[in-house]
Structure 1
Amino acid sequence: MNPGNNEASHRCGSVAVVGRPNVGKSTLVNALVGAKVSIVSNRPQTTRHRLLGIATVPGGQMLLVDTPGLHRQEGRFKASAMSRVMNRTARGAVEDVDAAVLVVEAGRWDEEDSHAFKVLSDAGIPVVLVVNKVDRLKDKSTLLPFLAEVSKDRQFAAVHPVSALKRKGLEALVADVLALLPEAPPVYDEDEITDRSQRFLAGELVREQLMRQLGDELPYATTVEIERFAEDGALLRIGAVIWVEREGQKPIVIGKAGARLREIGSKARQQMERLFGRKVFLETWVRVREGWSDDEAALKAFGYGQE
């Protein structure tokens, strides 16, 4: 697809990337952008903020709005203020967009997927269905019947089976999404990949390591605040505070003789250097703020729900 360079044929618009938790929305956004702008783990609630990934492709620019997973207010998420804020953020992402991508997992459609589809249907925007993780299907012969079943009685602008992790099936997806966007010049320069600051991304990269390394022990009890972000010549000096909810959680994050905290910091620093293209000196501390994840004032102070 190469419409040429004349401005009238260039397409640009916003696309909400929506789905239940843990279906690969952030992996898809990163694959389309061609860089890591959204953190990824195998835990629900990894994405907590609305984040814009900018995918500049031949003939167009897609402004991909990565969102927290949509979920119904019940079960394990029922009483959480964090859950309410994330749901508001995800629902807000479908306002004033040109199109939406509904991401589901190959071979699985449940009530959470139906809920996400209803939110998009109610918004009255064209929806492209992305069936992700097709590479994990053990029996590939089940894919076509699954696609037929989920498309029955549901209106989709297009349906695309993909593997976001392996970047398979994305070219055809991009072509169909671009076709839904208005003719308009690009909003961002070609080398821009997100609207978020490096300071914000640094905090997210620390939190990614917390989700990956502490998922079994403290899946949702941690958040990160960047206290210092300063340039020192070619070096970035970053100070990150890891907040937990109870005093007894501090030693879990710190680990024996500080080993786990060092590992979290080391891996986060490596990711920062890769993303920012420069050396990083990262310091981390662990502090307690009682019950922060169920306190809307605390969530606001940590930047949640401010999009």
Structure 2
Amino acid sequence: MSGAESDFRSGFACFAGRPNVGKSTLMNALVGTKVAITSAKPQTTRRAIRGIVHRPAAQLVIVDTPGLHRPRTLLGERLDSLVLSTLTEVDVIGFCIPATDPVGKGDRFIAEKLAAVKKTPVVAVVTKCDLASREQIAKQLLAVSELADFAEIVPVSAVSGEQLDTVTDILVGHLPEGPPLYAGGELTDEPEQVLVAELIREAALEGVRDELPHSIAVVVEEMRPREGRDDLLDVFAEMYVERPSQKAIVIGHRGERLKDVGTRARKQIEALLGTRVYLDLHIKIAKDWQRDPKQLRRLGFYD
């Protein structure tokens, strides 16, 4: 290995934390573009999505994971299993705790889980600092320091951009020396159909009742250029809910809500793919899919 290559660092970091503590927003901010969906609804993230941060002397691959929680369904068990397996495969873990919420049982539960991953350094990242006063942040940093013996503790705001470079510096500092893992310019290794499905689900989550986020799944069946045109992509997607009452909520009065979901999703998909999009979106009922192993597999949640 040449001197220049030996100075280069590359590897994987994982963000862990309770649901809705800003993990996906932070990853998007560090990568510099939207590769993970965000929502005010807990448990929005359902897959381990990888975003790639390129630096002249380093490549940091960030794995965004679902929030760790005590599972109540088979889907919940699979999400927790996904998180725990990811923690053992990365070079450094970022434990996200918001500045706005007191340290609680959920944080202590996760701190215990992280302590069991003996060989991996854990950096505590205090998120959402733009929503907290300096006094709040100082108190939270102290409370977090008493949770565990972290490699480092750093406050950050993904919204204002404060300390984003510092977080990257700290995470990169824990990576091994080695060549880049991905070609320059790549920002994620997620298949386009998965990203498109996630954008549709994000649009559907906006403004729905609290019981729906866990019940919505989206599968993109097909994406193809419109025949005879090179400026239009046809996207065919199915949205699944568990009960007829949920289908009615998503469709809304005279179909207005579904129309709004389609419009917002289409704009996001066009921004992602850089082309005009025709979105063909239908809703189907898959009864109790979160508890059914066969349906979980069909919707992309594997063992």
State the TM-score, normalized to the length of structure 1: 0.92
Distance in 1, Cα, partners of 2:293 & 2:148: 36
- Counterpart of 1:189 in structure 2 is 183
The Cα offsets for residues 201-231 of structure 1, whole Å up to 9 and x where unpaired, read as 0100000011113243523211111112112
- CA shift digits 1:20-56 (9 cap, x unpaired): 1000000011011111000000011100111111111
- Shift in Å, 1:142: 3.0
Instruction: State the match for 2:194 in structure 1.
Output: 200
SS in 2 for 1:213: coil
1:84: which partner in 2? 77
CA distance in 1, matches of 2:189, 2:205: 23
Partners of 1:217 and 1:112 lie apart in 2 by 20
From 122, 125, 133, give the equivalent of 2:128.
Answer: 133
Once residues 48 and 174 of structure 2 are traced to their aligned partners in structure 1, the CA distance between those partners, rounded to angstroms, is: 22
Q: Secondary structure at the match of 2:59?
A: strand
* Other structure's SS at 2:160 match: coil
- 2:58 is matched with which residue? 60
The whole-number CA distance in structure 1 between the counterparts of 2:136 and 2:160 is 20
| CA distance in 2: counterparts of 1:255 and 1:186, whole angstroms | 48
Structure 2 CA distance for aligned equivalents of residues 186 and 120 of structure 1? 27
Q: Is the 8 A contact 1:253 1:261 kept in 2?
A: yes
Aligned pairs, number: 296
Ranges in structure 2 where 5+ consecutive residues have no aligned partner: none
Tell me which of 140, 157, 165 is aligned to 1:171. 165
Unaligned runs of 5+ in 1: none
Q: CA deviation at 1:196?
A: 0.7
Q: State how 1:1-307 maps to structure 2 within 5 Å.
A: 6-73=4-71, 78=72, 80-107=73-100, 108-124=102-118, 125-137=120-132, 139-152=133-146, 154-216=148-210, 218-232=212-226, 233-305=230-302
TM score, norm. by length of structure 2: 0.93
Two-structure CA RMSD over aligned residues (Å)? 1.5
Taking only the aligned residue pairs, the percentage that are identical comes to 37
User: Is the 2:41–2:210 Cα contact (8 Å) retained in structure 1?
Assistant: no
**More displaced, 113-122 or 265-274?**
113-122
For 1:123 and 1:21, locate their aligned partners in 2 and report how far apart those are by CA, in whole Å: 20
Letter in 2 for 1:144: A
C-alpha separation in 1, matches of 2:200 and 2:147 = 43
Measured in 1, the distance between the counterparts of 2:37 and 2:81 equals 20
Structure 1, residues 63-82: CA drift from partner, whole Å, max 9, x if none?
11100000124xxxx2x111
